[in-house]
């Protein structure tokens, strides 16, 4: 991966609706090698080194800290607090509309992506964070075949062995969640008809619990410096890693979400998935759930099965 750090330049403000404004001093230019592209295609994920400048990290941290204070503290040992709609902040807008940011997706994924949201997650010391899951809540409103991805940004260094606080993930080449989306759609159809699927859910729960040791056996974890990021597609099973840094009480990570430009709205699946609480195919209600935010409330001007790119809620394409 080749990195070209940006020298300070006069910042060009992104106007509302502008896409790919060049000249930002928030995002470094990143170029991927052929081996890195092959690794992403094979595994579904890739660390992206030194993508953000110190100024960008400071801006992301400021908005994350401000918004996360508004959430009620959770003490169940998972995530302590969550914040939504970070993308409405001007600094975040400049980041996602910069040419350098768009180039990451065009170079690595060779596709255009719709930016949908940014969230912040706080993990307190000793917290385990989120269990094994995939993108059934974050991307539950699009069809199983539509591609989507997340760019996760740690705002403090991550040492997988010493401090934790990062993520663990299973390569798609070993086990992909692609079939789990299809299973979720099948169950959603039954749920929306009012069918009794408790027996089916019980079977899926047992299957999921049986898979967890296999996930752990094949889990991959990476170290990250501040300014790094981690890109993974919606089919990657992942979980949080317990945060155990000695000289810190919490860590914050930020997630940028994207869906493919040609994604279509699946209202029927999302209705069932959201009411269930996420993870129909795991058989566990409210498995990974964020009640504060309903992504389904956004693209209301698009009919079921319609192309999301035509929605008035689509503001940025990278």
CA atoms within 13 A of residue 317's CA, in its CB half-sphere: 13
Residue 127: its pLDDT value, please?
72
Coil, helix or strand at residue 35: helix
pLDDT at 10: 34
β-pair partners for 233? 149
CA 242 to mean position of chain CA atoms: 18
Domain borders along the chain are 27-309
pTM over 0.75: yes
Give the integer Cα–Cα distance in Å for 98 and 318.
9
In the predicted model, is pLDDT for residue 21 greater than 70? no
**147, 158, 181, 255, 310 from 178: Cα distances, Å:** 10, 28, 6, 21, 26
Average pLDDT, integer, range 5-33? 58
Question: Residue 115: pLDDT band by 50, 70, 90 thresholds?
Answer: very high
Q: Using pLDDT thresholds of 50, 70 and 90, give the confidence band for residue 47.
A: very high
Residues facing residue 118 across a β-bridge: 256
- pLDDT value for 18: 43
Q: Is the pLDDT of residue 15 over 80?
A: no
Place of tokens 């169940």: 76
As a whole number of angstroms, the distance between CA 28 and CA 306 comes to: 35
The proportion of the chain whose per-residue pLDDT surpasses 90, expressed as a percent, equals 57
The CATH class of 27-309 is: mainly beta
Q: What is the 3-state secondary structure (H, E, C) of 227-259?
A: CEEEEEECCCCEEECCECCCCCCEEEEEEEEEE
Residue 296 pLDDT > 50, yes or no? yes
Provide the pLDDT confidence category of residue 17 given band limits of 50, 70 and 90: very low
More confident residue, 219 or 160: 219
């Amino acid at each position: 991966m080749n990195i070209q750090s940006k020298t300070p330049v006069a910042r060009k403000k992104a106007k509302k609706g502008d896409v790919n404004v060049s000249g930002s001093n928030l995002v470094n230019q990143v170029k991927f090698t052929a081996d890195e592209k092959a690794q992403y295609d094979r595994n579904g994920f890739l660390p992206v080194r030194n993508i953000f400048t110190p100024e960008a990290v400071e801006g992301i941290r400021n908005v994350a800290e401000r918004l996360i204070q508004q959430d009620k503290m959770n003490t169940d040992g998972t995530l302590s607090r969550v914040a939504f709609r970070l993308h409405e902040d001007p600094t975040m807008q400049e980041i996602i509309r910069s040419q350098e940011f768009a180039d990451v997706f065009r170079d690595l994924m060779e596709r255009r992506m719709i930016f949908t949201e940014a969230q912040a997650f706080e993990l307190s010391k000793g917290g385990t964070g989120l269990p094994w899951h995939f993108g059934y809540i974050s991307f539950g409103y699009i069809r199983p075949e539509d591609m989507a991805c997340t760019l996760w940004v740690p705002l403090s260094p991550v040492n997988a062995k010493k401090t934790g606080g990062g993520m663990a993930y299973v390569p798609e080449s070993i086990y992909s969640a692609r079939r789990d989306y299809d299973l979720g759609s099948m169950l959603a159809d039954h749920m929306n008809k009012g069918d009794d699927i408790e027996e089916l859910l019980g079977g899926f729960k047992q299957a999921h619990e049986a898979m967890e040791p296999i996930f752990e056996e094949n889990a991959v974890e990476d170290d990250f410096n501040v300014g790094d990021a981690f890109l993974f597609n919606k089919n990657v099973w992942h979980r949080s890693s317990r945060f155990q840094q000695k000289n810190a009480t919490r860590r914050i990570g930020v997630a940028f979400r994207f869906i493919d430009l040609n994604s279509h709205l699946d209202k029927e699946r999302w209705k069932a998935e959201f009411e269930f609480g996420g993870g129909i195919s795991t058989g566990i209600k409210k498995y990974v759930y964020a009640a504060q935010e309903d992504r389904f409330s956004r693209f209301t001007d698009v009919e079921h099965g319609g192309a999301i790119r035509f929605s008035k809620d689509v503001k940025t394409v990278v």
